[in-house]
């Protein structure tokens, strides 16, 4: 049942991001909504359980995007590795830490995309509106990213209480 | 024999190397080796369902809840209609004359090819890449490389095809390039995607005559887009006089933010490309 929740949320987010969001002008420059979800999976599940989810997620996003195939797979995988490594030293339940992780992850994803443009792009040029796009995404991530991540954690906690009768706190 | 730390470091280095090599291969070939089709077939039906629902809700809103302003708009439209009828009459005369001349010159119709109408059901999850998912695929005769157009101009080309869905790279994507001509002076260059509301028109020699407001059309030399399809209008012309090329910005005719339906040209006529030369 818990996995149904993860699969359902994952599918919902991908579809929301690729269909509904495009109808609103205000959300046009929004960051990758799957980043908070990947962070949520990384801190909520053991590696052997969340790794397949994250790889499938990356695979689907790569299929739908015009990016070089494997870009999102790469990013989500290394985000998982980075978070698992950092929660060895820092407390995963710390809200400040989680907020920072979301913002930093959005920035790193943008840097990775820019790096791909610069290294593998047709002429090695950066897109004209790069700076504005990064600023927009960071702004969105700053205000909604942590909120979104905490909502996911709260929903998951409530969901686990209903299903298992006990709260599943993020693993540290 | 080896410490755990050593194995981890070596494993990490190998993983990063493999990762970089794979990214390099996929970005150079723009191919997903068929893997992309699996994800596309899996998610696209859900995208289609959600898009239909959102459009249905939007139509209800626009048709019923906006009726308050419709009355005033109706008055204005009636006035506009009277003007339009008069203009239409003049245009009909011109059209008849044009048809006669066209027959005389034995012009070929530029879009005699078979086209398939498709609906846009999803957009790229990333803000950096400009692709859309359409609801037509192999079953409808689509294949990789086919041009996608709108009455206003070129929209993009098909880059991935599954049975019922396809992925289209828009010409505003930075990986896109279209061989183009300035319609008036026939100055040739390459249209490259820059952002949602402008292209860069590169490699146009300074010796050519280009002016702001000129229309840019496909040249047909790239073998993808039939000759003569409209692309955009020159909106800015700059660059130092010492450069051999102009720095030209082109504003697209197609509104890529409001892309809902598109036409896929199934078999561009080879004569169209040949005549471009």
Report which of residues B6 and B275 the model is more confident about. B6
pTM as predicted = 0.74
Radius of gyration of chain A (CA): 16
Question: Tell me, what's the pLDDT at B111?
Answer: 57
- Whether residue A82 is predicted with pLDDT greater than 70 in this model: the reply is yes
Q: Percent of chain B having pLDDT more than 70?
A: 83
Report the first-to-last Cα separation within chain B, whole angstroms: 68
Instruction: Give residue limits of the domains in chain B.
Output: 113-277
Q: Any chain B CB within 8 A of the CB of A82?
A: no
- Whether residue A167 is predicted with pLDDT greater than 50 in this model: the reply is no
CA pair distance B103, A74, nearest whole angstrom: 58
The pLDDT tens digits for A134-159 are 888 888 999 898 999 999 888 888 87
The pLDDT tens digits for B117-169 are 888 998 888 888 889 999 999 999 999 999 998 888 899 999 999 989 999 99
Helix axes A71-86, A47-64, angle to 10 degrees: 150
CA pair distance A100, A90, nearest whole angstrom: 12
CB B271 within 8 A of CB B107: no
Which of B28, B51, B127 lies closest to A120 in CB terms? B28
CB B188 within 8 A of CB A79: no
Range in A61-70, A86-95, B165-174 the model is least confident about: A86-95
Rounded to an integer, what is the distance from CA A61 to the centroid of its chain? 11
Instruction: Tell which A residues from 96 to 125 touch B, by Cβ distance under 8 Å.
Output: 110, 113, 116-117, 119-122, 125
Average pLDDT taken over every residue of chain A: 83
CA pair distance B126, B128, nearest whole angstrom: 5
Which of A18, A63, A66 lies closest to B35 in CB terms? A63
Report which of residues B242 and A70 the model is more confident about. A70
Question: Tell me, what's the pLDDT at A121?
Answer: 66
Token pair belonging to B119: 């609906």
CB B273 within 8 A of CB B226: yes
Question: Tell me, what's the pLDDT at B103?
Answer: 54
Chain A residue numbers touching B28 (CB-CB < 8 A):
120
CB A44 within 8 A of CB A153: yes
Which of A15, A20, A113 lies closest to B43 in CB terms? A15
Q: Any chain B CB within 8 A of the CB of A26?
A: no
Which pairs count as long-range contacts for A151-154, CB under 8 Å and 24+ apart, including other chains? A152/A9, A152/A36, A152/A37, A152/A40, A153/A40, A153/A44
For the segment(s) B113-277, the CATH number from 3.60.150.10, 3.40.50.720, 1.10.10.10, 2.40.10.340 is: 2.40.10.340
């Amino acid at each position: 049942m818990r996995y149904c929740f993860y699969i359902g949320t994952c599918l919902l987010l991908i579809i929301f991001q690729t269909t509904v969001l495009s109808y609103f002008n205000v959300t046009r420059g929004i960051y990758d909504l799957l980043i908070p979800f990947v962070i949520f999976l990384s801190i909520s599940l053991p590696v052997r359980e969340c790794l397949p989810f994250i790889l499938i997620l990356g695979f689907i996003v790569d299929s739908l995007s015009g990016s070089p195939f494997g870009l999102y797979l790469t990013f989500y995988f290394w985000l998982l590795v980075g978070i698992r490594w950092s929660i060895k030293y820092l407390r995963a339940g710390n809200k400040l830490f989680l907020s920072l992780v979301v913002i930093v992850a959005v920035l790193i994803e943008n840097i990775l995309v820019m790096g791909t443009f610069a290294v593998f792009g047709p002429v090695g040029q950066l897109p004209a509106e790069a700076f504005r796009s990064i600023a927009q995404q960071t702004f969105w991530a700053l205000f909604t990213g942590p909120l979104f991540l905490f909502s996911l954690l709260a929903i998951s906690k409530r969901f686990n209480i209903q299903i298992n009768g006990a709260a599943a706190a993020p693993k540290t | 024999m080896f410490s755990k730390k050593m194995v981890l470091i070596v494993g990490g280095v190998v993983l990063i190397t493999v990762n970089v090599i794979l990214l390099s291969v996929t970005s150079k070939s723009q191919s997903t080796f068929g893997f992309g089709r699996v994800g596309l077939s899996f998610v696209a039906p859900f995208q289609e369902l959600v898009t239909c629902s959102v459009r249905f809700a939007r139509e209800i809103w626009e048709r019923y809840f906006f009726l308050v302003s419709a009355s005033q708009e109706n008055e204005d439209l009636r006035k506009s209609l009277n003007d339009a009828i008069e203009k239409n009459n003049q245009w009909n005369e011109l059209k008849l004359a044009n048809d006669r001349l066209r027959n005389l010159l034995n012009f070929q119709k530029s879009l005699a090819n078979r086209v398939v109408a498709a609906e846009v059901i999803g957009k790229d999850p990333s803000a950096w890449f400009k692709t859309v998912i359409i609801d037509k695929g192999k079953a409808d005769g689509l294949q990789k490389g086919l041009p996608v157009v709108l009455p206003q101009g070129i929209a993009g080309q098909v880059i991935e095809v599954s049975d019922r869905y396809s992925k289209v790279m828009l010409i505003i994507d930075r990986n896109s390039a279209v061989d183009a001509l300035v319609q008036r002076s026939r100055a040739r260059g390459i249209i490259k995607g820059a952002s949602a509301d402008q292209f860069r028109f590169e490699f146009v020699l300074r010796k050519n005559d280009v002016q702001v407001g000129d229309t840019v059309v496909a040249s047909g030399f790239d073998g993808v887009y039939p000759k003569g399809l409209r692309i955009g209008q020159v909106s800015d012309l700059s660059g130092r006089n010492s450069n051999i090329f102009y720095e030209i910005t082109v504003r697209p005719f197609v509104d890529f933010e409001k892309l809902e339906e598109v036409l896929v040209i199934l078999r561009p006529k080879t004569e169209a490309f040949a005549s471009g030369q």
